[in-house]
């Protein structure tokens, strides 16, 4: 198949998932065309079957808000026409789904009029935050209703979309996935030694540091843990709440113990040497960071919110607590970090679940068959 993929190319779960899907499809022999305003971050080297088309957005004094969604629609239609794409797959409804809708219409009205089906994958904040903003709700709802196919990354997100947007069309749940060959335990004392002394535990947090991630809770939990377990905290990622977290860590005397790494290209290396992941989010529709940690045999202490319980089994592959209950999260963290054999057993179980339920070889064929259905329906 020839597939066009559009996503937010910067750091963030939906862009990561979109890029990884593209790379997996390309490895399976499909032709993949990324269409976006910059190169997706995990698309680091040139690969067979992978193409990238940049969307140029012109700046004119008249455009206080340059119309990216229109430039994207034009580019999608152009690329689809020139490279004879079979389907567009857009990640994050706003505005990608609307642009795809326009591109489909443009192609249908062109010289060799044809239907270019498109699939919208809902990731979370496009529904739970942005999509529910009154100014975006009607157009988001419209583009979901008029997509050829819609997928959601968890049952939680599908149900919430149906309920809050009053959607009457089917939405297929296809879980996020992890490449278990790439995400795995790294028994590398040298790399560990870059961040911690022998005998110290390594805790890790990975996110875009937005308020929904409750970054201050990460620091609060760690502050309690390190009083009982010698440890360090790696903070991977960047975003608006990073400065407040840095300030908080300094104020609590944790400057040497909390290491802010910023945005990282080689996330798997850092997760692979960690002992425990902290994910105290207000809401996660899935929690990709927890899945990547699981593949690296790293259990997660997370909040029991959204789609997280579909990923983490409490007491088996991690721990789930109420939002804001930093004492409980710290208690769970200390308990597991103090019991080496249980920590490793929980890590191994997490790896097994990651492989069996969320491995690329389980999930990618679900997308392939869904694309096939949509392409077939469009040619009928
Ligand atoms: O909140 C983020 O991390 C960003 C956002 C995105 O679209 O980039 O993440 C959402 O999609 C991820 C990938 O599917 C999911 O793992 C996250 O749970 C989801 N975030 C929320 O629901 C808050």
Ligand 1 centroid to residue 374 C-alpha, Å: 25
Domain 2-177+360-378 is classified in which CATH homologous superfamily? Glycogen Phosphorylase B; (3.40.50.2000)
- Cα gap 36→154, rounded to integer Å: 25
- Cα gap 150→59, rounded to integer Å: 33
Q: Is 305 in the pocket of ligand 1 (CB under 6 A)?
A: no
Strand arrangement of the beta sheet that strand 2-6 belongs to: 50-54, 31-36, 2-6, 87-91, 118-122, 149-152, 172-173
The mean pLDDT of 136-146, rounded to a whole number, is 93
For residue 126, the model assigns a pLDDT of 84
Which of 262-266, 286-290, 327-331, 363-367 shows the lowest mean pLDDT across its residues? 262-266
Tokens of 128: 């739970």
Ligand 1 atom nearest to CA at 212: 23
Q: Is 121 in the pocket of ligand 1 (CB under 6 A)?
A: no
pLDDT tens-digit series, residues 263-320: 988 899 999 999 999 999 999 999 999 999 999 999 999 999 999 999 999 999 999 9
For residue 176, the model assigns a pLDDT of 98
For residue 307, the model assigns a pLDDT of 98
For residue 342, the model assigns a pLDDT of 97
Q: Is 153 in the pocket of ligand 1 (CB under 6 A)?
A: yes
Ligand 1 centroid to residue 160 C-alpha, Å: 15
pTM equals 0.94
Ligand 1 centroid to residue 123 C-alpha, Å: 6
Closest CA relative to residue 4, chosen from 29, 27, 22: 22
Q: Is 212 in the pocket of ligand 1 (CB under 6 A)?
A: yes
Ligand 1 centroid to residue 327 C-alpha, Å: 25
Domain ranges (residues) in the chain: 2-177+360-378, 189-358
Q: Is 285 in the pocket of ligand 1 (CB under 6 A)?
A: yes
Q: CA angle at residue 314 from 313 to 316, to 5 degrees?
A: 65
User: Domain 189-358 carries which CATH code?
Assistant: 3.40.50.2000
Identify the residue whose tokens are 């808000």: 65
Tokens of 68: 């990216």
Ligand 1 centroid to residue 207 C-alpha, Å: 9
Residues 6+ apart with CB under 8 A from 46: none
Q: Which residues are 149's β-sheet partners?
A: 119
CB 87 within 8 A of CB 375: yes
Q: CA angle at residue 190 from 185 to 193, to 5 degrees?
A: 100
Burial of 206 by CB count in 10 Å (0-12 exposed, 13-18 middle, 19+ buried)? buried
Residue 129 pLDDT exceeds 90: no
- Cα gap 42→39, rounded to integer Å: 8
Question: Is 2-177+360-378's fold the same as 189-358's?
Answer: yes
């Amino acid at each position: 198949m020839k597939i066009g993929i559009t996503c937010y190319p910067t750091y963030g779960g939906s862009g990561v998932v979109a890029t990884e899907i593209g790379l997996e499809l390309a490895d399976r022999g499909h032709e993949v065309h990324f269409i976006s305003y910059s190169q997706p971050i995990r698309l680091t080297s040139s690969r067979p079957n992978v193409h990238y088309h940049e969307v140029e957005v012109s700046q004119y004094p008249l455009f206080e808000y340059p119309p990216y969604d229109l430039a994207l629609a034009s580019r999608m239609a152009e690329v689809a026409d020139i490279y004879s794409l079979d389907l567009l797959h857009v990640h994050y409804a706003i505005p990608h789904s609307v642009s795809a809708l326009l591109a489909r219409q443009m192609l249908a009205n062109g010289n060799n009029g044809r239907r270019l089906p498109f699939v919208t994958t809902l990731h979370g904040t496009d529904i739970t935050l942005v999509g529910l903003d009154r100014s975006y709700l009607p157009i988001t709802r419209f583009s979901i209703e008029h997509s050829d196919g819609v997928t959601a990354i968890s049952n939680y997100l599908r149900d919430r979309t149906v309920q809050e947007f009053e959607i009457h069309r089917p939405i297929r749940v296809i879980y996020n996935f992890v490449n278990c060959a790439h995400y795995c335990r790294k028994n590398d004392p040298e790399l560990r030694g870059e961040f911690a002394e022998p005998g110290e535990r390594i805790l890790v947090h990975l996110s875009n540091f937005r308020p929904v991630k409750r970054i201050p809770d990460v620091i609060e939990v760690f502050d309690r843990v390190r009083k009982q377990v010698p440890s360090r905290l790696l903070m991977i990622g960047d975003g608006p709440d990073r400065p407040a977290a840095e300030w908080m860590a300094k104020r609590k005397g944790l400057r040497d113990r909390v290491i802010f790494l910023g945005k990282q290209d080689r996330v798997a290396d850092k997760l692979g040497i960690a002992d425990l992941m902290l994910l105290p989010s207000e809401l996660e529709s899935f929690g990709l960071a927890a899945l990547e940690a699981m593949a690296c045999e790293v259990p997660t202490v997370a909040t029991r919110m959204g789609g997280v319980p579909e990923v983490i089994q409490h007491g088996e592959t991690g721990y789930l607590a109420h939002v804001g209950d930093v004492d409980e999260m710290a208690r769970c963290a200390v308990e597991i970090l103090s019991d080496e054999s249980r920590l490793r057993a929980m890590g191994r179980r997490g790896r097994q679940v990651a492989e069996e339920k969320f491995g690329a070889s389980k999930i990618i064929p679900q997308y392939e068959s869904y694309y096939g259905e949509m392409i077939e329906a469009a040619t009928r």
